Structure 1
Amino acid sequence: MSAAQEELQKTPLHALHQELGARMVPFAGYSMPVQYPAGLMAEHHHTRAAAGLFDVSHMGQLRLVGPDAAAAFETLMPVDVIGLAPGKQRYGLLLTDEGTIIDDLMFVNRGDDLFVIVNGACKAGDLRHIQERIGGRCQVVPLPDRGLLALQGPQAVDALKRVVPGVEQLVFMTGAAFTWQGNDLFITRSGYTGEDGFEISVPGAQAEAFARALLAQPEVKPIGLGARNSLRLEAGLCLYGNDIDTTTTPVEAGLTWAIQKVRRTGGARAGGFPGAQRLLAQLDGSEPLARKRVGLVALERVPVREHAELQDVGGGRAGEVTSGLLGPTIDKPVAMGYVPPSLAVPGTRVQAVVRGKPVPMEVSAMPFVPNRYFRGPAA
């Protein structure tokens, strides 16, 4: 074993992954399962059809505590934190002073605190940033001793409610506290696959036993990072470090849906976040965008990977692919990338350069596969 491998951190499920025959790879400083013996394609299709269990314990979990926590957190992001009702979850974006993206995250108003989940590769930096900026206004409490599991797919609710009765009452982007064998869980109905599903925060010492209880359900199989990536790309969801980073603004990235009206125009809470002047100018068009994130579908059966150059049909450089693979559900090569606004209209033809040859692509609306989030019983 190399020194680098020895230095990798392990999640509470490391021994279980090995027992299940996972192929482990370095990811965000952790040894993580990229796939199990069934393989990426089978895992992807199983999640779309039934329920897949993902270990996402490398993610950062923290609490923001105190009467001023929501107002303080709102100063770091262009989203509505103060107006988030108890039990509700929201997507957020930590920004630099230039209005570019430090990280994307999820947070829940739990009534007595804000529960925040950040990306694994960014968690140390995020924690420092949050502590430095708002640590004087609220307590910033990291939760390194908790594991995080994601159960995703159309049959996830059937499997989970046998183990944790009551979870079926949750709807998309809500969360609540539950118990399992005397252990405190916090469960949200959310995920990173475009499917219905749940993310479950569990004490690290009980994470393996809880994972085994889920894997004992007939619908559930373990799923690795490979299928997690193909599922999220088909769902049109950004991967931090690929599709968004400190060179991209939320407006360029097409994430303006995550900036609520109360932070955009009029009123005491409009602006007031890092880079606000620039982002509000991009939103109202007074600062024209140089590029926009788009979905792309290849017109030939040639997978187009990240960093492939994008060109206009005349062969002029137009941008770059940020994520790409053969979409198992759509059964076509799909990608995301950045192009000038003039080329960002769905149906526009561009070409990617793969091994020195042009591959014709078409700009596409996203998601590539329809999302199936559970928003409540049909009216």
Structure 2
Amino acid sequence: MKFLEKSLIAGLMTICAAMAQAQSFETSARAAYVYDQSTGTVLLAKDAEIPLPPASMSKLMTIYMAFEAIADGRLSVDDLLPVSAHAASFGGSSMFLDTTDRVRVEDLLRGVIVLSGNDASVVLAEALSPDGTEAGFARMMTERARQLGMSNSVFVNASGWPAAGHRMSIEDLGILSRRLITDFPTFYPLFAETEFAFDNRVPSNSQNRNPILRMGIGADGLKTGHTQEAGYGLAGSAVQGDRRVIFVITGLDSARERAEESERIVNWAFRQFAERDIAIAGTQIATADVWMGAQQSVGLTVAEDLRLLVPILHEGAVDARVVFDGPLQAPVTAGQAVGELIVTLDGLPEKRVPLFAEADVPLGGFSARMRTAALVLWSKYGFAPGTEPDGA
């Protein structure tokens, strides 16, 4: 068996012919990650795998674990949680809690999401920690992050308060943002709330710090972050039409620059790329030879409609090909995964889509085996059974 490549049918190449390279996006962010959720396309990755101080953006992990605890019954939105002296001691962004408070979980969630409350983050952490401490919860955060595929994240606390070794990559924050949106659609609308005046304690502290929520660009989340070490950062998401774009930036010099760069990224992602139909489910993309089968070949198809995000300009090379380990060995079953369609567009990562056998190909009888033997002899010696090479 050999690794083979097959040319695609003309129709697929015609559809792809208009695709081209989008102009590259230059960002002033220290690190950046832009992801189109509808097609699973990474549009931009700048130092995205480097672990960096995430500041308050790491509160997204605390929120994720609180959502999980509510979903599996360990926590209820109506539970009243006590505020420890440790939680009440935090300055910076705050709900202004004190040790006499017992706070509803739902209020704490808003306190973290809308107000970026350090105190609220610690209250949730201590409630969910196996030993009742923020440090114990941070260890849980790191372990859960690994399970979610976030390999460049280590948590020391629940709030993103500056601490040695507390790090997340921008890509990991992108993964976490996607999971919050897809795993908890009931809770995710909390991220779009622009105001939360908890107990009217500090009315001037009631505004959501996320600047993109008020820009009219379809933004509906997620979280800002800022420390002196990290600079200004934002994990954001916006929806326009049927598309959702998720992005993370960090290392900006000011809140204004963070807001302006976020808007630039959203506009670029939506205006410089468009979705295109590439193949319809069941369409024959190519054929593969079958070894010892009742038929000599089988069609290869995609199981679902294939739409790709493509640059809007008409000037770049496109590479679309089918690869499989072949010839395929009979019997082949309809729906069996047998190869991949690989589409490459300049400036974007390649897209790999599984290909499946279009029909059953049972093991052939005597004539099929003889035909296969003839093909082997022909390919190896240049003659078929019953013939002799010239000069024999």
* TM-score band, normalised by shorter chain: under 0.3
Whichever structure has more strand as a proportion of its residues is 1
TM-score scaled by length of structure 2:
0.23
Larger relative contact order, structure 1 or 2 (CA cutoff 8 Å, min sep 6): 2
Which has more radius of gyration? Answer: 2
TM-score scaled by length of structure 1:
0.24
